[in-house]
Structures are given as C-alpha cells and as structure tokens.
Structure 1
C-alpha cells in the first residue's frame, strides 16, 4: 500500500512494485488510507510523513492498532528528529526524497523477506524445496536456485554448484 499526497510519487512507486510482481494500491490522504487499510490488508506500507491535512507519523501511530505490516516512510524531511519520531512511533524504515526506486524496492523486499519467514501459509514447502511468494524465490535447502530478474522481470535459474 502506498500513501502519498503526490500522485506522481504514488505512480512511480506503484509501477516499480508491479514490475516486481507485487499488487499495490495507492491512497492520497490519511482518511482514505485508513479505509484502504481495512479492505486491502497490505503486507507493507510506503508512507509519506507530510500528507495533505495530516501528519504521516500520527497516521502511522493510529495504523499500528490495525496492522503489523512493515511501514517504510518515504519523505522529503531529512531532520534527525523527524526520522527518530517516525521510527519510534511505528515506522520500520525511512527513505528520503529524492529517492532511488531501486533502493526503495530493495528495502521493500528485505522487509517482506523478514515478514515472510513468519508466514508459513505463504510458503509452499516440499521435501528439500521451498517456494516463497513474498521473497519471490525458490530455495533448495539453504541455497536460492530461482529468482525474478529486476530488469526484464523474467525468471532466471541459479544452479547450485555441484
């Protein structure tokens, strides 16, 4: 779920998320985002600190009573006090604007990997083989043998060394 009052930022983040195979939904204000939170049940939230008519940190604090999904703040605010407040009041990460979409996606995937380790229902486990929807990978034992390539979104095998 992407919550930012700038439609252009929402569109950029949404395009990159969808390229990586994630379903996404955007909201441009806090009230709309709270309604979306109830219906969409996101696995992760990208949230701006400065929303129109609302503080994203306050929204995060309120959202924590409804979700444990990781919250990655995406904001133009660079002051340490703002970052500390955002992370102390429920945020899991903080990225400043202007931002690299590639770095943001790497952080999103890292948070989803951590969340997916506790979600056995999201894993398909076979003897010696695990398919992980959230990490978008196939693991044989402890080795990753399959992943989604970022540039073309094509699947690429990685064969373990014998």
Structure 2
C-alpha cells in the first residue's frame, strides 16, 4: 500500500491577486482558497439574524424597551410554537400519536370489557384486567387513560390509578 504524500494548504486572502504563483507551490500541495470577505459576510448575516431573533425573545437578557413581551390572553398564539417551525410539527406528530393510542385503548376496552346494560351500550372493565391485557400493547396505560378521560371517552373513580392498589376500580367506556 502506498501512502498519499499530498498535503492541503488553506490560503486565506482578501482578493484573488494575493494568490501565490505556481512556482511558489510544490507539486504535492493541494490549495484551497477562502475569501475573508465571504467569511465576514456570512458571520455578519448570522449575527444580524440572531440579534433580530433576540429582540422578540422574551427570555433573553435584552432589556431594551423595544422587546415585545407577549401577554397571556392577549394573543391567540401565546404559548404556542412559531407556525411552520419544527417544534410545531413535533407537537402535531405527538398529538396524532396520542390520539391513536387513545383509540387503541378504547378498542381494547370494547374487546375485553363486559356489557352492563340490555342494549350493550355501556361497557366496563376492571383496571387490573385492563392492565394485564394492555401491558402487551403499551407501557403508558395510566397516562392514556387520563387523556381518554379528559376527552370524555372513559370514566373512572379517583384521580390516578395504581397497579395492585386500584385493580378493582371499574373503568366505563362512554362512547
């Protein structure tokens, strides 16, 4: 195996006239020219964008009176990520994922629950039985139950359900 004896030299210059001639460079040298003006322009553009962003950031240390601090209840987008941002997209994806998990939970309750009235519309299941069945589906049963209750899809007594302690609590599917 041979070794590559070629070296790279980076030359930083202001203008193309500063380029060294071929007689000043060896045959084994690769040359990369970088313009100082281009580097300076890129840095300045980034700096200007960052300063503008910080003017609108209520958490920055910028105490100038021109800083706009959103007031709770005054704007529709208070506490929400910027539209079109990656943060907004992640929030939408998380909402979709949780909604699917709530649907899977309701389906599991329909499958293993007992019909409590003549029409078969009220379906109930004990938390212990649901926990044993649902553990193969997801490890987030209690959180998904709380979300489903918030959406008025299920109902149960108490604020939180604990494995073992609340195995006898009846969960009712409302829809």
TM-score, length of structure 1 as denominator length: 0.22
Point out the structure with max Rg over C-alpha: 2
Q: Higher relative CO (CA 8 A, sep ≥ 6), structure 1 or 2?
A: 1
Structure with more of its chain in strand, by fraction: 1
